[in-house]
Amino acid sequence: MKLTKENVDRIFSECEWPFQEWNDKKIPIDQAPDGAMLLIPLPSGLNVATFHPEKLKQYSQEIGELLDQVPYLSQKTGISFSMLGRTVDGITWAVNPYEIQKLYLLGVATDQLISISINGAISIGRIPKEKSASSLVSVGEDGNKIIAKRFFMNLKK
């Protein structure tokens, strides 16, 4: 699947679970199913996103295919938020931060992206499915590499 605004919008719309639908189903926010409500850090602060957990599982592979097309994201280096708006082919698929945010939120919600703060800037990295531990490396103000975050996950068979 090609990384385009249309594909990101379609998957985001399919996976999104607006609060209004919770009210229609008489589900209070504090009783939402696991994974439905996510507090997600963004470069500009904190966002509350709500997704259907089943839909996230259904689209997880396609979201991964979209993320595979972001340059440097699959390497052990962190990238900036705005770099999510470009493809490895040098094409800018989105400049609007709200469109880029959709891809970011889908990546975080499906445990494929992680973001950390380094020297006041946000660095975004890919969580590899095939590894049990990984480090996100960034470059400090002095030009030296900084191991910023080590994370562990369960290996899926």
Give 5-42 pLDDT, tens digit per residue.
999 999 999 998 776 665 555 555 565 555 455 555 55
Tell me the chain's radius of gyration from C-alpha atoms: 16
Q: 108 lies in a domain?
A: yes
Q: How far is CA 5 from CA 42, 70, 137, in A?
A: 19, 13, 29
Between 34 and 60, name the one with better pLDDT: 60
**Structure tokens that stand for 152 in this block:** 């562990």
| pTM score of the predicted model | 0.72
Please tell me the total count of domains within the chain: 1
Compute the distance between CA of residue 91 and CA of residue 94 in angstroms, rounded to an integer: 9
Per-residue confidence (pLDDT) for residue 137, from 0 to 100: 53
Q: 98 lies in a domain?
A: yes
Compute the distance between CA of residue 90 and CA of residue 5 in angstroms, rounded to an integer: 15
Tens-place pLDDT, residues 82-130: 899 999 999 999 999 889 989 998 998 888 888 777 777 778 888 776 6
Q: 97 lies in a domain?
A: yes
Could you tell me the residue range of the domain that residue 40 belongs to? 5-152
**Structure tokens that stand for 132 in this block:** 């049990």
Q: 109 lies in a domain?
A: yes
Per-residue confidence (pLDDT) for residue 111, from 0 to 100: 83
Compute the distance between CA of residue 69 and CA of residue 65 in angstroms, rounded to an integer: 7
Q: 157 lies in a domain?
A: no
